[in-house]
């Protein structure tokens, strides 16, 4: 590999400790006198003044440099092509591609400090230095700030030994999923696999503790690059602790969900993708024997810059940082997407057209944290929560919102009993948002394979828009359960819902299909089609559905419309309601309404039976049932509250009216 990063590490590093560093973006031109500019952060000033020179501290040194003291790094062709999808040939992000020059680094090392990381994105270095060395560095004319490197820790996911489980009988015609059929079906990836997609040509950078690449599950996995940011070498396996679980344990779990391929046992979601493996975390046992993952923030940032340079399309990071081990820790009030250095780095990566997928965390119910972690607060980060096999929320999945009130997580998927590879061989059933994250990253890789022009931001928005709760997101599921096939946006019928026709009337309903396929879909009806209903395919991605209302048609007729491009098809359900000539059987006034609405029932409806209010997502929230013989022109008021007496939010609601001789649905609009 020709990238400068490894060469630079070989020249400047030699230690095996974990380190991390980041900086604020700086303007060109030199800083003024260090003392007058208060170069040391308040937390670092206290530490330096109270510590002897025998103790080394991990700090960030931020620079204010002119162009003459910056050097451009080399980027791979794949990196340049990925950026060109959003920036064209003129890369507007080029300011991120200049690192501090060797001259600057030599000035820093001349003070005796040991450089651990060089950040081009933040124009900074992280170092180990004594108190006197820190003060000496702060007096250099181009140093703008010196601050602590944050040391973070996060617990391992809950892991359960693999249990036998009955598997669904429906199988893909193409792949022998074995234990992983359920999880691939859960996210609807089987439909994409059946379309011939495997993630081929998509580069996924995986950040974790280490990886057992010798596992049989990865014999056919395309691992094109790897780097150990703990020990500064290419070995991402190995054990770094005398105690505790093996270093490769957690990373092997996440890689297995993505890239495993053992027929009839494990099939990863993106088994055909390319992988770049970054070892960024260290796993050890604490004094009480509890396993922890620890990292200093600059490892993640260095890995993100590396992933950008080699052309990664997706970063999958099953890591969340909540508990810090120094006096300069972040707080929950800083989960605003703009404070933590790791979050800023994640958003910079996203600005480079990398889809950053990160776990929400497993802190729900924790008395010390209890919410999402860093960098899950990033506004451009796709944050993933966990659900159970029955689509309920996992008990551990960290909730949002962010400190500034944004919805988080963004999406949720299976995170309980996910089958994957176990280090040193075998399989395991594991739980945690660490396992739900690679499911989403793998599904996104299938979408990017299908349409190589799709940008990271487009992928993120599609994942949100096609979630099961996209119309009513919350801070548990985000925009709902993930649907990989929908988010790939290959082809879809644009029409769905209820269409009404009066007896004796012929109605023409325009049908259209849209998506990212280059093929023109064939549009048709499936199943038994009643008399009076026909569809004409216009052979251009549109069709005309003709419906003639008659008493022979059922009050409700369900039609399945299919758009088929050969390798992939979408089905939409249309409901045709036949109305009598008397159409005003129930009216709503006023509509739209602000606080309450009155339903007026005509005598032509006969004895009314029930009035039911549903949300646009189909959730029943209010019902009025008539158990008595009620006279004509009955008037019923809905006060805009649900069955629990709580005021409903503004939005679209559906009234379902039933009477002895009619059934109607009305759309209601609540304005506040």
The domain total for the chain is 4
Please state, rounded to an integer, the average pLDDT across all residues of the chain. 86
Q: Is 302 helix (H, G, I), strand (E, B) or coil?
A: helix
Token digits for 327?
Answer: 């006096």
Q: Please state, in angstroms and rounded to a whole number, the distance separating the CA atoms of residues 627 and 611.
A: 12
**Are 573 and 593 in the same domain?**
no
What is the Cα 344 distance to its own chain's centre?
Answer: 17
Give the mean pLDDT of 306-332: 86
565 inside domain: yes
Residue 242's pLDDT band, with cuts at 50, 70 and 90, is low
CATH number of the CATH domain containing 351:
3.40.50.200
**Are 394 and 465 in the same domain?**
yes
Q: Please state, in angstroms and rounded to a whole number, the distance separating the CA atoms of residues 465 and 463.
A: 6
pLDDT in tens, 327-362: 667 889 999 999 999 999 999 999 999 999 999 999
Residue 90's pLDDT band, with cuts at 50, 70 and 90, is low
CATH number of the CATH domain containing 499:
2.60.40.10
Burial class (CB in 10 A: 0-12, 13-18, 19+), 264: exposed
238 inside domain: yes
pLDDT in tens, 259-306: 999 999 999 999 999 999 999 987 765 555 555 667 778 899 999 999
168 inside domain: no
CATH number of the CATH domain containing 600:
2.60.40.4070
**Are 521 and 480 in the same domain?**
no
320 inside domain: no
The interaxial angle of helices 4-12 and 297-310, nearest 10 deg, is: 140
Residue 324's pLDDT band, with cuts at 50, 70 and 90, is confident
**Are 532 and 592 in the same domain?**
no
393 inside domain: yes
**Are 119 and 235 in the same domain?**
no
**Are 477 and 496 in the same domain?**
no
13 inside domain: no
Residue 169's pLDDT band, with cuts at 50, 70 and 90, is very low
Token digits for 343?
Answer: 């979050």
Angle CA(571)–CA(572)–CA(576) in degrees, nearest 5? 140
**Are 217 and 358 in the same domain?**
yes
Point out the domain boundary residue: 549, 579, 609.
Answer: 579
Q: Which residue has the higher pLDDT, 666 or 200?
A: 200
Nearest to 19 by CA among 117, 99, 105, 108: 117
513 inside domain: yes
C-alpha distances in Å from residue 513, one per residue of 71, 525, 580: 50, 14, 31
Which pLDDT score is estimated for 68? 93
Residue 22's pLDDT band, with cuts at 50, 70 and 90, is very low
Point out the domain boundary residue: 437, 472, 488.
Answer: 488
**Are 448 and 406 in the same domain?**
yes
**Are 550 and 468 in the same domain?**
no
User: Would you say 270 and 204 are in contact if contact means Cβ atoms under 8 Å apart?
Assistant: yes
**Are 395 and 354 in the same domain?**
yes
296: how many CB neighbours lie within 10 A of its CB? 28
Containing structural domain, residue 290:
155-160+173-315+344-371+383-488
pLDDT in tens, 119-144: 999 999 999 999 999 999 999 999 99
Point out the domain boundary residue: 488, 519, 537.
Answer: 488
564 inside domain: yes
Paired sense of beta strands 203-208 and 314-317, if any: parallel
Which pLDDT score is estimated for 548? 93
CATH number of the CATH domain containing 117:
3.30.70.80
**Are 563 and 661 in the same domain?**
no
Which pLDDT score is estimated for 281? 83
**Are 466 and 497 in the same domain?**
no
């Amino acid at each position: 590999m020709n990238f400068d990063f490894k060469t630079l590490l070989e020249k400047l590093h030699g230690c095996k400790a974990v380190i991390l560093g980041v900086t604020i973006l700086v303007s060109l031109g030199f800083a003024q006198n260090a003392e007058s500019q208060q170069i040391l952060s308040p937390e670092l000033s206290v530490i330096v003044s109270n510590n002897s020179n025998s103790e080394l501290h991990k700090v960030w040194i931020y620079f204010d440099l002119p162009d003459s003291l910056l050097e451009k790094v080399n980027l791979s062709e794949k990196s340049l092509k990925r950026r060109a999808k959003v920036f064209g040939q003129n890369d507007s992000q080029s300011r991120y591609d200049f690192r501090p020059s060797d001259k600057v680094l030599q000035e820093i090392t001349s003070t005796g400090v040991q450089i651990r990381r060089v950040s081009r994105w933040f124009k900074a270095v992280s170092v180990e230095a004594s108190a006197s060395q820190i003060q000496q560095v702060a007096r250099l004319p181009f140093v703008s700030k010196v601050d602590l490197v944050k040391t973070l820790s996060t617990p391992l996911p809950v892991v359960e030994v693999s249990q036998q489980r009955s598997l669904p009988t429906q199988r893909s015609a193409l792949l022998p999923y074995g234990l992983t059929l359920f999880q691939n079906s859960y996210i609807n990836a089987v439909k994409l696999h059946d379309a011939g997609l495997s993630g081929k040509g998509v580069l996924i950078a995986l950040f974790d503790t280490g990886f057992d690449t010798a596992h049989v599950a990865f014999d056919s996995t395309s691992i094109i690059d790897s780097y150990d940011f703990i020990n500064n070498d290419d070995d991402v396996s190995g054990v770094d602790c005398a105690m505790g679980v093996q270093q490769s344990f957690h990373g092997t779990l996440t890689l297995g969900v993505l890239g495993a391929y053992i027929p009839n046992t494990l099939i990863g979601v993106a088994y055909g993708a390319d992988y770049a493996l970054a070892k960024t975390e260290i796993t050890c046992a604490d004094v009480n024997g509890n396993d922890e993952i620890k990292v200093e923030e600059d490892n993640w940032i260095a890995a993100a810059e590396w992933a950008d340079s080699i052309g990664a399309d997706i970063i999958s990071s099953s890591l969340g940082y909540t508990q810090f081990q120094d006096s300069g820790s972040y707080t929950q009030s800083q989960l605003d997407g703009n404070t933590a250095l790791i979050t800023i780095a994640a958003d910079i990566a996203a600005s480079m057209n990398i889809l950053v997928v990160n776990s929400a965390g497993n802190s729900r119910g924790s008395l010390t944290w209890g919410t999402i972690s860093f960098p899950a607060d990033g506004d451009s980060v796709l944050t993933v929560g966990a659900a159970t096999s029955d689509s309920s929320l996992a008990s551990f999945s960290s909730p949002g919102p962010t400190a500034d009130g944004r919805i988080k997580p963004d999406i949720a998927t299976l995170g309980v009993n996910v089958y994957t590879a176990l280090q040193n061989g075998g399989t395991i059933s594991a739980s945690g948002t660490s396992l739900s994250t690679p499911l989403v990253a793998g599904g996104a890789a299938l979408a990017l394979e299908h349409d190589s022009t799709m940008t990271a931001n487009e992928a993120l928005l599609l994942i949100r828009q096609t979630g099961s709760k996209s119309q009513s997101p919350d801070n548990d599921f985000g925009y709902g359960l993930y649907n990989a096939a929908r988010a790939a946006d290959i082809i879809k019928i644009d029409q769905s819902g209820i269409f009404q026709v009066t007896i004796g009337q012929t109605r023409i309903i325009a049908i259209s299909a849209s998506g990212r396929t280059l093929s023109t879909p064939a549009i048709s009806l499936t199943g038994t089609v009643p008399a009076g209903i026909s569809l004409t395919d216009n052979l251009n991605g549109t069709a005309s559905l003709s419906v003639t209302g008659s008493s022979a048609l059922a009050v409700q007729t369900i039609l399945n419309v299919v758009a088929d491009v050969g390798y992939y098809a979408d089905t939409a359900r249309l409901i045709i309601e036949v109305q009598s000539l008397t159409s005003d059987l129930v009216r709503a006034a006023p509509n739209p309404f602000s606080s309450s609405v009155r339903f007026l029932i005509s005598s032509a409806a006969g004895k009314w039976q029930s009035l039911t209010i549903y949300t646009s997502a189909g959730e029943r929230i209010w019902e009025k049932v008539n158990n008595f013989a009620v006279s004509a022109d009955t008037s019923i008021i809905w006060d805009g509250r649900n069955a629990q007496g709580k005021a409903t939010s503004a939005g679209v609601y559906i009234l379902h009216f039933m009477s002895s001789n009619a059934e109607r649905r009305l759309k209601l609009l609540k304005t506040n």
